[in-house]
């Protein structure tokens, strides 16, 4: 690479099996290229909060930002343990996951996401976030499946 800066790889983490695989892939890639990993968890209030003039307060103790941060930290620990072999920074970002990852991807060499997050339809090949990123990211995008692709019939 002509740039002497450490390559930064952005990865979306939501605690789903696909995001765990994406994080593992991002860390392995960062090791290969001498890069660092920027693990991002996005949060927002549920869609029904304040919907149609209703004032539905969140359940007592419900804090989506705290939940996203805890999920991110637990997922990083589960996937890479105490010594990942590369620098990993964790960021909890308010707002829509696709937008948070797009903004985080500015200046990155790569964005890595799972094929489907926690809210996805089980039969969909790509989730809404991964599809949005493949169409709009400012850098290459890797979409990692949460399970191996089925073997080709032969």
* Model confidence band, residue 52 (pLDDT cutoffs 50, 70, 90): low
- In three-state secondary structure terms, 82 is coil
d(CA 149, CA 151): 6
d(CA 113, CA 27): 12
What is the rounded average pLDDT of the residues 79-103? 93
21-42 pLDDT, tens digit each: 999 999 999 999 999 999 999 9
d(CA 1, CA 87): 19
Is 152 among the domain residues? no
d(CA 134, CA 115): 11
CATH code of the domain in which 90 resides: 3.40.50.620
Is 81 among the domain residues? yes
Is 98 among the domain residues? yes
Is 2 among the domain residues? no
Is 150 among the domain residues? no
The number of domains in the chain is 1
pTM of the full structure: 0.81
pLDDT score recorded for residue 14: 92
**Span of 30-44, 69-83, 101-115, 117-131 with lowest mean pLDDT:** 117-131
Measure Cα distances from 141 to 16, 65, 96, 132 in Å.
18, 26, 18, 10
Is 36 among the domain residues? yes
How many Cβ atoms are within 10 Å of 73's Cβ, its own excluded? 15
14: DSSP letter = -
Is 151 among the domain residues? no
Is 19 among the domain residues? yes
Structural domain range at position 63: 8-120+130-144
């Amino acid at each position: 690479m002509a740039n002497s800066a450490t390559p930064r790889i952005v990865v979306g983490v939501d605690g789903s099996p696909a995001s765990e695989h994406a994080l593992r892939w991002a860390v392995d890639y960062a090791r290969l290229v001498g890069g660092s990993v920027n693990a991002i968890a996005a949060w927002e209030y549920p869609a029904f909060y304040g919907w149609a003039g209703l004032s539905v307060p969140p359940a007592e103790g419900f804090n989506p930002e705290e939940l996203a941060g805890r999920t991110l930290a637990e997922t990083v620990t589960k996937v890479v343990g105490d010594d990942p072999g590369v620098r990993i920074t964790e960021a909890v970002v308010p707002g829509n996951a696709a937008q948070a990852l797009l903004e985080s991807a500015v200046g990155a060499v790569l964005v890595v996401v799972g094929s489907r997050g926690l809210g996805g339809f089980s039969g969909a090949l790509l989730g809404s976030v991964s599809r949005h990123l493949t169409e709009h990211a400012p850098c290459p995008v890797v979409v990692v499946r949460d399970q191996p692709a089925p073997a080709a019939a032969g």
